Amino acid sequence: MQPPNNVVLPPRGFSAPGIAFPDQRSHPLPMPTPAAQTSTDKKRSGVLPNPPTLAPQTSTEKKRSVVLPNLPTESQILASPGLKSFLYTELCKATQDFCPENLVGEGGFGCVYKGWLAEDTLNAATPGLGMAVAVKKLTPQGFQGHKEWLSEVNHLGRLHHANLVKLIGFCLKGENRLLVYEYMPKHSLENHLFKRCRQPLSWETRVKIAVGAARGLYFLHNSEPPIIYRDFKASNILLDSEFNAKLSDFGLAKHGPTGDQTHVTTRVMGTEGYAAPEYLRTGRLNVKCDVYSFGVVLFELLTGRIAVDYRRAKEEQNLVKWVRPHLRDKRTIARIMDSRLEGQYPRKGAYVAATIALYCVNPEHKYRPPMAEVLEYLEHLQSPKFQKLPTSSDSMQQMQSSSISRTPPPALHLSPPNWSPVNRSPRGSCRPLPLKSPHHSRFSTYLES
Binding residues for ATP: 137
CA distances from 386 to 43, 314, 377 (A): 34, 34, 11
CA atoms within 13 A on the CB side of 351: 20
Whether the CB-CB separation of 420 and 358 falls below 8 Å is answered with no
Residue 118: phi and psi, rounded to 5, are -70, 130
Q: Which of 231, 249, 290, 309 is catalytic?
A: 231
Q: Number of helices (H) and strands (E) in the chain: give both, helices first.
A: 14, 14
Cis peptide bond N-terminal to 225, omega within 30: yes
Beta-carbon contacts of residue 72 (< 8 Å; ≥ 6 apart) = 154
Cα–Cα distance between 384 and 358 in angstroms, integer?
24
CA atoms within 13 A on the CB side of 9: 29
Q: How far is CA 165 from the centre of its chain?
A: 13
Q: Quick check: is 231 catalytic?
A: yes
187 backbone φψ class: left, alpha, beta (φ>0; ψ -120 to 50)? left
Q: At what angle do helices 203-221 and 287-303 cross, to 10 degrees?
A: 170
Q: Residue-wise over 374-396: b if at least 16 C-beta within 10 A, else e?
A: bbbbbebbeeeebeebeeeeebe
Cα angle 264, 291, 302; round to 5: 155
The 8-class DSSP code of residue 353 comes to: H
Cα–Cα distance between 332 and 440 in angstroms, integer?
22
CA-based end-to-end distance of the chain? 26
Cα–Cα distance between 414 and 315 in angstroms, integer?
9
Active site residues: 231
